[in-house]
Amino acid sequence: MTDNIGVLGKKAPQRTGVERVVNAPLPTVYGKFQAVGYLDHDRGDEQVALVHGEIGSEGVLVRLHSECLTGDAFGSQHCECGDQLDSALRAVVAEGSGIVVYLRGHEGRGIGLLAKLRAMALQAEGLDTVEANLALGLPVDARDYGVAAGMLRDLGVNSVRLMSNNPRKREALVRHGIQVAETVPLLIPPCESNITYLRTKRERLDHHLPHLDAVAHLS
């Protein structure tokens, strides 16, 4: 076979980084988006950015949303992920323009679906979300946002208004060369099923969740 063989008989170097592959219209219940599909050559993941309206280069309203099958697709109340995705999509439509970067490979803060379910089983036995990951011998948060920064750069974005409660997302974007002009809170009212999880995110993962102070009655 001669695939990837150069004129001197050497293999051509493998591609790295993120590559835009396709741009397709995506009408949704929230409004009209362009689904811009990417391939992350470093990890092999397929990624997508949902772009609404005419975006500029500065101060673009952006959500970096980590994949969460249980929350995004099944409506799990163990976390607030599905409600955050819903709120972010509504927000960019209300703004008139913006981007929701949906990051596949981020399931369970990067540990994968089955490991996340194992961690959830341990949480049902009394461990918090940090303790559960550590009990499984897994990192507390294994997510990387380099691909998200690459996608934003490809879309011509230099600075963002970031919809997030997680300071690590802001730090990661800045580290990868995307400026964060503003952090926009994305606060979801808690319920009995996720209040412990949310408190752990605030107390042990430094998420900015001031609205939890108003729901001390939830156990």
Q: In DSSP terms, which residues pair with 35 in a beta bridge?
A: 24, 50
Residue from 42, 45, 86, 141 carrying the catalytic annotation: 141
DSSP of 143-171: ---HHHHHHHHHTT--EEEEE-S-HHHHH
Dig out the tokens for 47 from the structure. 């990624």
Q: Which DSSP state fits 10?
A: P
**Is 141 among the catalytic positions?**
yes
Backbone angles phi, psi at 98, to 5 degrees: 155, 180
State the catalytic residue, choosing from 63, 143, 161, 170. 143
Q: Decide: 89 and 36 in contact? Cβ < 8 Å.
A: no
How long a stretch of residues is the chain? 219
* Residues belonging to the active site: 141, 143
